[in-house]
C-alpha cells in the first residue's frame, strides 16, 4: 500500500512517516511505503485516481479532489490544530502576533496551505490587494517532490521572499540561522481562536478503500495511534526516524520540534473541529454546503482513536 505526504522533511506529517519507518504499519499487517507528492492537492488527486491508498496531509485540502467531501473520509488525526507558522525576515523586527508586518511584503506559501494565511489576514483586516501582500510560491518549489519548509527557509535566507507560511521545520531552521522571526504559531495560541480549527494534519482514505478493505483502514488508524504513543514515551524514536529520512542538519532538529508537538498528538477528530473546518472552508469558497460530520469522518474507526485501546 502507498501513503502520500506533501512534505517529508517536516514535523507536519511525522506520525505517518514514523509509522512506516518504525514498523507500526507492518505490525498491523500492512506493508506501506511513503511517497512524497507535492503540493497537497496533487496528493489528494492521486488518492482520487487510485494511485495511492492514504494521504497524510491537511484535512481541508481533501476538497481539492473530492468536492463537498464526497468520496473521501478522514480516518484519524495525526495531531490537533492548524500547524503552520508565519515567519518573517529577522531584520524587519516583527513582533509576535503583529500581522501588519506583511503589508507590502512577499510571503511564500504552498498551494492550499496559503488558504489558512489568507483567512487569518482577512480576520485581521488585511486585504492582500489593497495592502500589497504578495502571497506567492516559494522559488524552487515547482516540482512534485518538494520539501517545502527547507526550501522556504533557504529562500528567506537568500532574500527571495520576505516571509513564509510553512511548517515547524522551516520555522526552526530560519530562527536558528538568525534569518527569521516567528510572527504566528496558531497551534500555540497566536491569532484568532477559531483559526486553530481551520484544518489539521490528518490521514484520509477514499470511500472505496474503506468500503472494500475496512480492516486495512482500521489497521492504519491503530498504527498512527501506536506511533503517537511511542513518540510520547521515547523521544529518541523521533531522532531515529530523522536519521533515516532527513539530511543531517534537519535530523538534528527533529526531536526538539516533535517535543513541542507531542501535546497535540491526539488521533481524535471532534465534531467541534469539523464544524470549525467547514466554516473556514465555506469562508474561503472551497465548500458550498454543510456535509454532515459522518460524511467527512470515518466514525466507524473512532474506537481506535483512544490510546488506551492501542496495545503497545
* Residues 57 and 203 both lie in one domain: yes
Structural domain range at position 106 = 85-196
* Residues 66 and 16 both lie in one domain: yes
Q: Where are the alpha helices (DSSP H) in 129-270?
A: 148-158, 168-176, 207-212, 214-233, 236-245, 248-261
* Residues 205 and 191 both lie in one domain: no
Number of domains in the chain: 2
CATH of the domain at 46: 3.40.190.10
**Contact present, 191 and 102 (Cβ < 8 Å):** no
Which residue, chain included where needed, has cell 484519524?
76
Domain end among 147, 170, 196: 196
Domain end among 153, 178, 196: 196
In this predicted structure, what is the pLDDT of residue 311? 41
The torsion angles phi and psi of 85, rounded to 5 degrees, stand at -115, 145
- b/e map of 181-202 (b: 16 or more CB within 10 Å)? bbbbbbbeebbeeebbbbbbbb
* Residues 220 and 192 both lie in one domain: no
**pTM, entire model:** 0.95
The CA distance from 234 to 214, in Å, is: 30
Tell me: the pLDDT tens digits for 83-120?
A: 999 999 999 999 999 999 999 999 999 999 999 999 99
250: alpha, beta or left? (left if phi > 0; alpha if psi -120 to 50): alpha
* Residues 139 and 165 both lie in one domain: yes
Tell me: the pLDDT tens digits for 180-214?
A: 999 999 999 999 999 999 999 999 999 999 999 99
Domain end among 196, 229, 257: 196
Average pLDDT per run of 10 along the chain, which is 312 residues long? 96 98 98 96 98 98 98 98 98 96 97 97 96 93 73 94 96 96 96 96 98 98 98 97 94 96 98 98 98 98 80 40
Amino acid at each position: 500500500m502507498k501513503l502520500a505526504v506533501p512534505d517529508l522533511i517536516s514535523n507536519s506529517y511525522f506520525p505517518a512517516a514514523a509509522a512506516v519507518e518504525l514498523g507500526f504499519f507492518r505490525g498491523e499487517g500492512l506493508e506501506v511505503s511513503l511517497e512524497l507528492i507535492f503540493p497537497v492537492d496533487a496528493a489528494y488527486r492521486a488518492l482520487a485516481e487510485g494511485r495511492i491508498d492514504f494521504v497524510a496531509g491537511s484535512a481541508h485540502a481533501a476538497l481539492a479532489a473530492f468536492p463537498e467531501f464526497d468520496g473521501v473520509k478522514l480516518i484519524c488525526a495525526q495531531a490537533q490544530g492548524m500547524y503552520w507558522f508565519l515567519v518573517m525576515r529577522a531584520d524587519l523586527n516583527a513582533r509576535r502576533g503583529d500581522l501588519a508586518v506583511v503589508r507590502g511584503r512577499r510571503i511564500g506559501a504552498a498551494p492550499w496551505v496559503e488558504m489558512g494565511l489568507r483567512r487569518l489576514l482577512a480576520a485581521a483586516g488585511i486585504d492582500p490587494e489593497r495592502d500589497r501582500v504578495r502571497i506567492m510560491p516559494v522559488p524552487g518549489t515547482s516540482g512534485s517532490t518538494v520539501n517545502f519548509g527547507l526550501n522556504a527557509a533557504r529562500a528567506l535566507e537568500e532574500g527571495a521572499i520576505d516571509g513564509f507560511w510553512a511548517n515547524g521545520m522551516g520555522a526552526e531552521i530560519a530562527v536558528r540561522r538568525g534569518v527569521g522571526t516567528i510572527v504566528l504559531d496558531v497551534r500555540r495560541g497566536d491569532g484568532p481562536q477559531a483559526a486553530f480549527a481551520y484544518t489539521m494534519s490528518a490521514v484520509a482514505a477514499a470511500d472505496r478503500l474503506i468500503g472494500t478493505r475496512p480492516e486495512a483502514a482500521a489497521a492504519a488508524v491503530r498504527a498512527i495511534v501506536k506511533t503517537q504513543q511511542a513518540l510520547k514515551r521515547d523521544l529518541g524514536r523521533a531522532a531515529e526516524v530523522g536519521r533515516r529520512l532527513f539530511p543531517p542538519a534537519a535530523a538534528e532538529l527533529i526531536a526538539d520540534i516533535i517535543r513541542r508537538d507531542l501535546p497535540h498528538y491526539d488521533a481524535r477528530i471532534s465534531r467541534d473541529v469539523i464544524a470549525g473546518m467547514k466554516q473556514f472552508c465555506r469562508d474561503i469558497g472551497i465548500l458550498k454546503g454543510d456535509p454532515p460530520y459522518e460524511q467527512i469522518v470515518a466514525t466507524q474507526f473512532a474506537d481506535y482513536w483512544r490510546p488506551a485501546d492501542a496495545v503497545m
